């Protein structure tokens, strides 16, 4: 009997179906935000991965699948998407077009880790990379996109863990302070951290073994070493998130496991509503202003994130249907209404909302079935009575509402419903303002 390689997974038809629709959904959302897909090889020259992640990073020292190909070249199965995507941007000189580039990718990654729930040796990530923007507003927009995905998947108990590593000066000053602080405390650190002291002091803060060690808890804080510019930029990110009511905590101890991060970094984690405990991070990312230069290209401020698809898939409520392919289904009752709704549907389509109508002569039940198959969010119904009064009936399947509105208000109404969907504070998602 042959078995699968340790740490890999077979996705049987049911699970595959779920993963595929989740991936398609993520691609749709990213497209909506103006990102375009990029597909890059899984196989990479080792140097790219080692250089970008950092020779002393956990990923490179313990987790990469490195081997020699038959031509004696050292190659690595990609452990993450950012370095290969940035390599492709540079190699294909994509940065000579309009900046910023907004790219998304999805596919398998490989890390030699101890397999357990949510941690595999072959797993999938979905990620976005914005290349060629130095604006902290973009950091916040990228975080917002990540949290929008959580919200639209009806995952309520998520929270952003946020920090800044500052610009190069801030980080260098901070590293000096950390070196000084840990100098006479090396005995109190784990063996890995003793090595990190020499190779990458910052990463001591990311120690997974010694999380509650007093020595780590009392270490100097990055906030005391930030330049004025880095402080201001971090304030922009926070006010943007405040404005949109995105839940976050600032964690001055957060550092990420890869060497290329600068400035804003974040993780999105789930918080147990009962005991406030935190489960594994589902999404992580941040700004990496030095990577393009490190890989031999021009300096291009960049920011991105990656979701673990399997981890995300494990927390999605099976009952939630997130694959809203068709946004609005137009349901005519009678021939007069049909012609009228065709006009209205065209108008809505021209506004960029995907819409459908089943042209067969169906009864209401038949139309409902058809909209279920299409996964339509809004059902827009019109018969002779409504037509006479220039009204339409609209059902929102997400918020479970049913209203009779002026047909001239249709677009406005739908937009309002979408907005309310974002946990709008004043109406709690159920407001009847239309
Ligand atoms: P962790 O702290 O859990 O090891 P990480 O910091 O190594 O995560 P990233 O490199 O930031 O993770 O990758 C982004 C996301 O990819 C993670 O938040 C997680 O959802 C997913 N991920 C990372 N490693 C694995 C793995 N071995 N198996 C499954 N998913 C993973
Ligand atoms: Mg890891």
pLDDT surpassing 90 at residue 7: yes
pLDDT of residue 434: 38
Weakest-pLDDT range from 80-94, 95-109, 333-347: 333-347
- Relative to the alpha carbon of 120, which ligand is closest? 1
Residues 6+ apart with CB under 8 A from 299: 289, 290, 292, 293
Q: Who has greater pLDDT, 81 or 278? A: 81
In the beta sheet, which residues pair with residue 382?
332
pLDDT surpassing 90 at residue 362: no
pLDDT category at 428 given cuts 50, 70, 90 is very low
| Pocket flag, ligand 1, residue 123 (CB < 6 Å) | yes
Q: Who has greater pLDDT, 385 or 207? A: 385
In the beta sheet, which residues pair with residue 116?
119
Structure tokens given for 83: 């370095």
The model's pLDDT over 168-194, given as tens digits with 9 standing for 90+, comes to 999 999 999 999 999 999 998 898 899
Pairing of strands 36-37, 65-68: unpaired
Question: Among all chains, which residue has been given the structure tokens 């999404």?
Answer: 283
pLDDT surpassing 80 at residue 320: no
Q: Where are the beta strands (DSSP E) in 194-319?
A: 248-250, 262-271, 278-287, 302-308
CA distance 34 to 418: 18
Q: What is the DSSP string of 69-100?
A: -TTS-EEEE-S-SHHHHHHHHHHTTGGGSSSS
| Pocket flag, ligand 1, residue 308 (CB < 6 Å) | yes
Q: Which of 28, 310, 15, 305 minimizes the C-alpha distance to 152?
A: 28
* Ligand 1 atom, smallest distance to 111 CA: 27
pLDDT category at 6 given cuts 50, 70, 90 is very high
| Pocket flag, ligand 1, residue 113 (CB < 6 Å) | yes
CA distance 164 to 233: 9
| Pocket flag, ligand 1, residue 306 (CB < 6 Å) | yes
pLDDT surpassing 60 at residue 422: no
Mutate to test the pocket of ligand 1, among 122, 281, 303, 312 (most ligand atoms within 8 A of CB): 281
113 neighbors 121 (Cβ within 8 angstroms) = yes
Mean pLDDT confidence for 407-429: 71
Which residue CA neighbors atom 15 of ligand 1 most closely? Answer: 308
For residue 246, report the distance from its CA to the centre of ligand 2, in Å. 25
Q: Who has greater pLDDT, 104 or 203? A: 104
In the beta sheet, which residues pair with residue 74?
68
For residue 115, report the distance from its CA to the centre of ligand 1, in Å. 12
- Relative to the alpha carbon of 108, which ligand is closest? 1
In the beta sheet, which residues pair with residue 380?
330, 394
- Relative to the alpha carbon of 114, which ligand is closest? 1
| Pocket flag, ligand 1, residue 64 (CB < 6 Å) | no
pLDDT surpassing 70 at residue 149: yes
Mean pLDDT in the chain?
A: 89
Q: Give the 3-state secondary structure of residue 282.
A: strand
Which residue CA neighbors atom 29 of ligand 1 most closely? Answer: 119
In the beta sheet, which residues pair with residue 126?
106, 307
pLDDT of residue 80: 97
| Pocket flag, ligand 1, residue 310 (CB < 6 Å) | yes
Q: Quote helix, strand, coil % in the chain, to nearest 5.
A: 40, 20, 35
Residue-level length of the chain: 434
- Relative to the alpha carbon of 9, which ligand is closest? 1
CA distance 434 to 421: 14
The model's pLDDT over 24-51, given as tens digits with 9 standing for 90+, comes to 989 988 887 889 999 999 999 999 999 9
Mutate to test the pocket of ligand 1, among 52, 287, 311 (most ligand atoms within 8 A of CB): 311
Which residue CA neighbors atom 25 of ligand 1 most closely? Answer: 119
Which residue CA neighbors atom 19 of ligand 1 most closely? Answer: 308
CA distance 414 to 395: 10
pLDDT category at 421 given cuts 50, 70, 90 is low
CA distance 208 to 216: 11
pLDDT surpassing 50 at residue 349: yes
* Ligand 1 atom, smallest distance to 59 CA: 7
Question: Among all chains, which residue has been given the structure tokens 């040796």?
Answer: 121
Q: Who has greater pLDDT, 101 or 415? A: 101
pLDDT surpassing 90 at residue 112: yes
| Pocket flag, ligand 1, residue 284 (CB < 6 Å) | yes
- Relative to the alpha carbon of 80, which ligand is closest? 1
Question: Among all chains, which residue has been given the structure tokens 């997130």?
Answer: 322
| Pocket flag, ligand 1, residue 196 (CB < 6 Å) | no
The model's pLDDT over 49-81, given as tens digits with 9 standing for 90+, comes to 999 998 888 899 899 999 999 999 999 999 999
* Ligand 1 atom, smallest distance to 305 CA: 14
Mean pLDDT confidence for 254-261: 82
Torsion angle of alpha carbons 82, 88, 93, 95, nearest 10°? -20
pLDDT more than 90, % of the chain: 62
pLDDT surpassing 60 at residue 426: no
| Pocket flag, ligand 1, residue 159 (CB < 6 Å) | no
Q: Where are the beta strands (DSSP E) in 272-315?
A: 278-287, 302-308
The model's pLDDT over 378-389, given as tens digits with 9 standing for 90+, comes to 999 999 999 999
In the beta sheet, which residues pair with residue 392?
405
241 burial class (0-12, 13-18, 19+ CB within 10 angstroms)? Answer: buried
Buried b (16+ CB within 10 A) or exposed e, 169-205: ebbebbeebbeeebeebeeebeebbeebbeebbbbbb
Residues 6+ apart with CB under 8 A from 138: 100, 130, 303
Going from the C-alpha of 262 to that of each of 216, 286, 297, 300, the distances in angstroms are 21, 8, 17, 12
| Pocket flag, ligand 1, residue 329 (CB < 6 Å) | no
Which residue CA neighbors atom 22 of ligand 1 most closely? Answer: 308
Residues 6+ apart with CB under 8 A from 401: 395, 417, 430, 432
Angle at 22 between CA 18 and CA 160, to 5 degrees: 125
pLDDT category at 325 given cuts 50, 70, 90 is low
CA distance 19 to 41: 21
| Pocket flag, ligand 1, residue 78 (CB < 6 Å) | no
Report the half-sphere exposure of 39 (CA within 13 A, side-chain side).
2
For residue 258, report the distance from its CA to the centre of ligand 2, in Å. 10
- Relative to the alpha carbon of 62, which ligand is closest? 2
Mean pLDDT confidence for 331-346: 90
| Pocket flag, ligand 1, residue 145 (CB < 6 Å) | no
- Relative to the alpha carbon of 119, which ligand is closest? 1
Torsion angle of alpha carbons 250, 301, 122, 13, nearest 10°? 90
For residue 63, report the distance from its CA to the centre of ligand 2, in Å. 9
Enclosing H/E stretch for 391: strand 391-396
CA distance 32 to 34: 5
Domains and CATH numbers, the chain: 13-167+227-315 (3.30.930.10), 169-222 (no CATH), 327-419 (3.40.50.800)
């Amino acid at each position: 009997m042959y078995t699968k390689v340790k740490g890999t997974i077979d996705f049987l038809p049911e699970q595959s179906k779920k993963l595929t629709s989740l991936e398609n959904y993520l691609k749709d959302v990213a497209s909506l935000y103006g990102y375009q897909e990029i597909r890059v090889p899984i196989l990479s020259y080792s140097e790219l991965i080692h250089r970008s992640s950092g020779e002393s990073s956990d990923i490179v020292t313990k987790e990469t699948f490195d081997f020699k190909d038959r031509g004696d070249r050292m190659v690595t199965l990609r452990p993450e998407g950012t370095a290969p995507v940035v390599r492709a941007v540079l190699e294909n000189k994509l940065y000579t077009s309009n900046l910023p580039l907004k790219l998304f990718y999805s596919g398998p990654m490989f890390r030699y880790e101890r397999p357990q729930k949510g941690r595999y040796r072959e797993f999938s990530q979905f990620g976005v990379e914005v290349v060629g923007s130095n604006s902290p507003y973009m950091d916040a927009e990228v975080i917002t996109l990540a949290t929008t995905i959580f919200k639209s998947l009806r995952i309520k108990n998520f929270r952003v863990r946020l920090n800044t590593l500052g610009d190069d000066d801030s980080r260098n000053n901070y590293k000096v302070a950390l070196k000084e602080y840990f100098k006479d405390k090396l005995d109190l650190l784990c063996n890995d951290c003793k090595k990190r002291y020499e190779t990458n002091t910052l990463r001591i803060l990311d120690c997974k073994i010694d999380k509650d060690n007093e020595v780590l808890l009392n270490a100097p804080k990055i906030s005391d070493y930030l330049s004025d510019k880095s402080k201001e930029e971090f304030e922009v990110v926070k006010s943007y998130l405040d404005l949109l009511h995105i839940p976050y905590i600032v964690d001055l101890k957060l550092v990420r496991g890869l060497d290329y991060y600068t400035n804003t970094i974040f993780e999105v984690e789930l918080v147990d509503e009962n005991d406030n405990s935190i489960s594994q991070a589902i999404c992580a990312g941040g700004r990496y202003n030095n990577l393009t230069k490190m890989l031999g290209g021009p300096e291009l401020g960049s920011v991105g994130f990656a979701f673990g698809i399997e981890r995300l898939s494990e927390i999605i409520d099976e009952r939630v249907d997130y694959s809203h392919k068709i946004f609005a289904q137009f349901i005519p009752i009678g021939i007069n209404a049909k012609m009228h709704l065709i006009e209205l549907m065209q108008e809505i389509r021209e506004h960029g909302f995907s819409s459908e109508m089943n042209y067969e002569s169906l009864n209401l039940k038949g139309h409902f079935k058809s909209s279920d198959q299409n996964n339509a969010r809004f059902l827009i119904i019109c018969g002779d009575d409504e037509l006479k009064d220039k009204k339409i009936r609209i059902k929102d399947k997400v918020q479970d509402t049913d209203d009779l509105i002026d047909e001239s208000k249709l677009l406005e109404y739908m937009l309002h419903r979408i907005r309310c969907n974002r946990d709008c504070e004043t109406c709690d998602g159920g407001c009847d303002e239309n």
